Structures are given as structure tokens and as C-alpha cells.
Amino acid sequence: MSTLYYTTIPWQLSDLFLLFSDKGPRSISFLNGKHIDDVLGRLSTRYTLEPIQNQFSLLIEKLAAYLNGAKVEFDGPTDPDTGTPFQNQVWNSVKRIPYGVTRTYGEIAKELGKPGASRAVGTANGANPLPIIVPCHRVIQSDGKLGGYAGGVTIKDALLRLEHSVL
């Protein structure tokens, strides 16, 4: 059984649950009122879980600063053990969206050379294991509506407002 490291970051809308492997961040989830013990209980059937000590403190500090309104760029390594080749293409494209800027699902699809794949881009975005680090909240519908978000549309809207994005 492999070992994963975890912590939470408090935020007014939803605490974040962070999960790391030895390679880097593996996932970020919005708890949305879920109790941490329930999440750990589900994960403990597949992994040995240990609280994070200091090995990822810089990233945790950057995430906390971001949630408090600081302009932060996330550029460190991530755990590459997730995602299909197409999902990874989408996530790499999304990583390049600058702070405070939005793109549409269709724009991402065109950038990838698949202009008819905006729904597939949305599906890949929905499977993003590292929201905020891979800023999928910056991808919106072509009509300017927010679209979906794993943490909920209220959180997507809050993240965009935090970045002062124009919608």
C-alpha cells in the first residue's frame, strides 16, 4: 500500500483537502461540509495516510495566500500518475491561462486542434484532480456563463471574483 500525505486549508466557502504523493500534489478537493474523518476513512482502504509535515509547506502557503486574495502562480511539480493523454493535454492548456483571465471550452478545444471537442474539454476539466493549481475555474462557456465546477458553481464564481476576472 502506497503512502499519501494530507492536510486541509480552511477557507470561508469550503475547506480544501490536499493529498500528496512523494512526487507532489495528487489532488485537491473542496470538502463542502464533508467531515475530514469520512474522507480519510474512504481513502484508508487504498492508501496509508499520514498528515503532512513540512515537505509541501511552500505549496500549502501559496494556496492559502491565493485563497486570501494574493496573486499566486503555481509552477511546481505535480504527481503525473493521473489522467488520460487527452485530459493531460487539456490540463496543460488550462495551466497556461493567466491569473485573472478566462477562456472558453471551445477556445481550449481549438488550441488542441480539436475544434468540435468543447464538451470533451469540459469533461476533462471536470476530472481535473488539482483545481486551483490547474485553474479549471478559468474555463467558461462561450456565452459567458460559468458552466460546471467540481466544487460547485458558487466556488467557481468566488475564485473568479477573487482573481477579478471580467465575465
- Would you please indicate which residues are annotated as catalytic (active-site) residues? 136
Q: How many residues does the chain have?
A: 167
Residue 22 contacts by C-beta under 8 Å, 6 or more apart in sequence?
3
Other CB atoms closer than 10 Å to residue 126's CB: what's the count?
13
Q: Which residues pair with 93 in a beta bridge?
A: none
Name the nearest CA neighbour of 91 among 113, 43, 123.
Answer: 123
